[in-house]
Amino acid sequence: MKQRTTLKMTLMVSFLVIAALPVIMIGWIGVQTLSHRMEAEIFENHYVISRAMAGEIERFLDQPVGILNQIIEVFHSRRLIRQNDIGEYLDAVFKSYPHFVGLQIVDNKGVVIHNAPYDPDYIGIDLSRRPFFRHFLDKKNSGAGSFWSPAFISLQAGFTTLTLSCPFDKGVVAGKLNLSHLKSISDRVKIGHTGFSAVFDKDGTIIAHPDPSKVSQQVNFKDVYAVYKGLEGEYGAYHYDYKGQSWVGSVSGVEQTGWVVGLFQPAEEAFASVRQIRNLIISGAGLSIFCAMFVAFGIVGKIMTPLSMLIRNTTHVKEGDYSQFDMPDSYREINELAFHFRLMTEAVESRERKIRASEADLKSEKEFTDAAINSLTDTFFVYVPESGSAVRWNDAFRKMTGYADEDISAMKAPESFYAPEHREKFTGLNETILKNSGATIEIDLITKDGRTIPTEYSASAIKGDKGNIKYIISVGRDITERKRLESQLQYAKKMEAVGTIAGGIAHEFNNILGIILGNAELAVDDIPANNPVRHNLDEIIEAGMRAKKAVHELLDFNPRSRGQKVVTEISSVIEESIESLKPSLPESIDIRYAVLNPPGPIHAQRAQIRQIIANICSNAVHAMEEKGGVLNVTVDDIHLKEDLLIDHLQIKSGRYSEITISDTGCGIRPEIMPRIFDPYFTTKDVGKGSGMGLSIVHGIVKKYGGIIHVQSNPPEGTQVKVLFPAVEAPASET
């Protein structure tokens, strides 16, 4: 069965999605929007501060320009000051503005004509090669205004200075400014704990920084992205990485000098407030989700608790326990479901009680039927005629066939159970059953081990609604014993008939022979010995005697003939018979005699015992004529505790004297085995046997209540067993 998601999980996920998804989406949108706005405000604030700082520096630079322009006006207007007082005026101006390092008035040739603080050694020095003067000459014709030299480190003062020059028609007024004031402006700007501000000249060299060493070393920050953008004239705030650290930098320009004023702060510190707001929003969203989960757990619990109990109750019902049905109060739909389930359970319980009662009745009836069917000694077998599938059978059928139940259920009738030559009997069985409501057939059953058992079946049918045969019921009986008895009866009747005919003929023939022999003997007495007729009469008498002997043999064949029964010890008789046979045996045949256990005496005539040995041994010698072999004769005393059945021969329990004669000859073919005791039946060539040997043996054995059994496996030889009932009496000679 495919594993499916549980209802509890589905409800939980649904509640969480419904509750948490809007919170997550709103929170995410809020975080993104607020973050962008706050970052924009931070950038704007940074840029405003940098712009304010640049404005302050511009105002700082405007002041010395005004002073120099004032000096030029004074120099032009001689009404205000005398020529000899210009030096003093410069000293006064120099002292009034603390950021001047020095003031100079240079004529159009670049010669210093006035200076402050006054230094007579400096008057008359040629400054025509100084940058500011060359700029003056370049810009004089164009009417340009003030000139700001690049910032430099004054070797005399040791701090950053620059030269501000303002040209006029008679020369140039130049003043050196002390830029240390820029650091004080920079120090006043506080950006967080680690932020700072700085001022860079047009080349990116730092001229004001919280760390004076960087100024003194004239470190160039042109590779800093924000500084680079400021030098390019793209003022604003930027977010960039520098040496593995993220920074926020805003830059503005100083109009007079082209300097760049920068405000720098690590991004982590700059955006700390953004991160705090973001974390606060995320925490709020998480708290909302947690609350949603708590509510979801409560709702799901209220739904799942009764459902779980309902599932538990269904498990009890499945196991047959209808007594436990506790359900807590829940939502209306679940309460209705529980109510109807309780009604359904009660209905199921009622039906199950009825089913159990019916099953008990059916079980009792089945047990009775099984017991009745299995008590039958006859086989009981039910099958479907269309498919041959077995439906029902009893122990007797299982025992007779030797198949297990699973084998029988997988086999087809009649193909699997009956001899092929008898299966055509099933062809008209259905029609016969339909016509006569039943049928009886005899058929050979083939067992699992290959044995053939003759059986008689009484078959009837179970018909369907349309009158067709649905099942065939066959009750079979092993008729092996009946067949054996019938065979014995037929054989006994045949032998009795033959014996009766032979006896009648023998008696009649014996009377005729008596007349012939009597008259022949009387004629012999009347005819001289030298008469040729005498020889013919002797031949008639000799032939008559042979015929008389044959008549006696016919009389011995008849089991009803009365013979004198005497108690005879057979071991000595058999030994004498064997000794008399040895001289007539060919050298290729070895005869062996053994007494296994001394046999008991029997009722028989010694001469007839000799005749039994002679006839059986004669047949054995004939079977070994071509190739030779061994002729074994044994005598044994056996005790049977129960009746035996050997090849349709019934042997009663008791004590027997057993004679066994076996040879290693060609054996007896199976097709002639049933006829070996028939009178005048022989397989020998003409003149080598009369066919009466085994017939006479059979008659003698039956006459004395014995049993003869012949077993042969061509070409391995033949074994003949003769059993005579032993008697408890002393042996006597005839």
Tokens describing residue 288: 């909302």
Give the pLDDT of residue 661.
95
Write out the DSSP string of 330-348.
Answer: --HHHHHHHHHHHHHHHHH
- In whole angstroms, what is the distance from residue 180 CA to residue 208 CA? 8
Q: Is 482 helix (H, G, I), strand (E, B) or coil?
A: helix
Output phi, psi for 478, to 5 deg.
-70, 115
Q: Report the range of poorest mean pLDDT among 160-174, 543-557, 564-578.
A: 543-557
How many C-beta atoms surround the C-beta of residue 111 within 10 A? 14
Element (H, E) at 38: helix 7-76
| Residue 533 in this model has a pLDDT that exceeds 50 | yes
Q: Please tell me the predicted confidence (pLDDT) of residue 499.
A: 63
Which residues make Cβ contacts (< 8 Å) with residue 380, sequence separation at least 6?
Answer: 373, 392, 393, 394, 396, 397, 473, 474, 475
Note the pLDDT tens digit of each residue in 142-171.
555 778 888 888 766 668 888 888 888 888
pLDDT digits (tens, 9 = 90+) for 413-462: 767 777 777 666 666 666 777 677 678 888 888 888 888 888 888 888 88
Check residue 659 and give its pLDDT.
Answer: 94
CA angle 426, 431, 436 (to 5 degrees): 110
pLDDT (tens digit per residue) in 55-107: 999 998 889 989 988 888 887 765 556 666 787 888 888 888 888 888 888 88
Give the separation between CA 445 and CA 454, rounded to whole angstroms: 6
In angstroms, the CA 191 to CA 396 distance is: 110
**576 burial via Cβ count (<10 Å: 0-12, 13-18, 19+):** middle
Q: Can you tell me the distance from the alpha carbon of 48 to that of 38, in angstroms, rounded to the nearest whole number?
A: 15
Q: Which of 429, 422, 392 is nearest to 409 (CA)?
A: 392
Give the pLDDT confidence of 274-321 residue by residue, as tens digits: 878 878 877 877 787 778 777 777 777 777 777 777 777 777 777 777
Whether residue 484 is predicted with pLDDT greater than 80 in this model: the reply is no
Residue 71 CA neighbour count, 13 Å, CB half: 35
Confidence of residue 514 (pLDDT cuts 50, 70, 90): confident
Q: Distance between CA 291 and CA 621 in Å, rounded? A: 116
Kindly state the average pLDDT of the residues 182-204.
88
Q: Give the range among 445-459, 643-657, 665-679 with minimum mean pLDDT.
A: 643-657
Tokens 């028609």 belong to which residue?
169
Task: Map residue 352 onto helix, strand or coil.
Answer: helix
717 pLDDT above the threshold of 50:
yes
The CA distance from 616 to 722, in Å, is: 10
**Which amino acid belongs to residue 10?**
T
Helices within 479-594 (DSSP H only): 480-526, 532-557, 570-581
Distance CA 505, CA 275 (A): 142
Residue-wise pLDDT tens digits, 342-378: 788 778 878 888 888 888 888 888 888 888 888 888 8
Q: For the chain, state the CA radius of gyration.
A: 73
Considering only 489-493, 515-519, 557-561, which range has the smallest mean pLDDT? 557-561
Q: What percent of the chain has pLDDT over 90?
A: 14
Local confidence band at 611 (pLDDT 50, 70, 90 cut-offs)? confident
**Residue whose pair of structure tokens reads 């680079």 in the numeric block:** 228
pLDDT band (50, 70, 90) for residue 52: very high
Whether the per-residue pLDDT at 722 is higher than 90: the answer is yes
Interacting residues of 462 by C-beta distance below 8 A, sequence separation 6+: 382, 469, 470, 471, 472, 473
Helices (H) and strands (E) in the chain, counts: 17, 25
CB 162 within 8 A of CB 152: yes
Cα separation, 726 vs 734, whole angstroms:
18
How do 567-568 and 602-603 pair as beta strands?
A: antiparallel
* H or E element, residue 20: helix 7-76
- How far apart are the two ends of the chain, measured CA to CA in Å? 96
Binning pLDDT at 50, 70 and 90, where does residue 590 land?
A: very high
pTM, two decimals, is 0.43
Confidence (pLDDT) at 4: 64
Instruction: Give whole-number Cα distances, 688 to 441, 671, 682, 694, in Å.
Output: 47, 22, 9, 14
Query: What span, in angstroms and rounded, lies between the C-alpha atoms of 456 and 479?
Result: 7
pLDDT of residue 648: 55
Beta pairing class for 629-640 and 439-446: unpaired
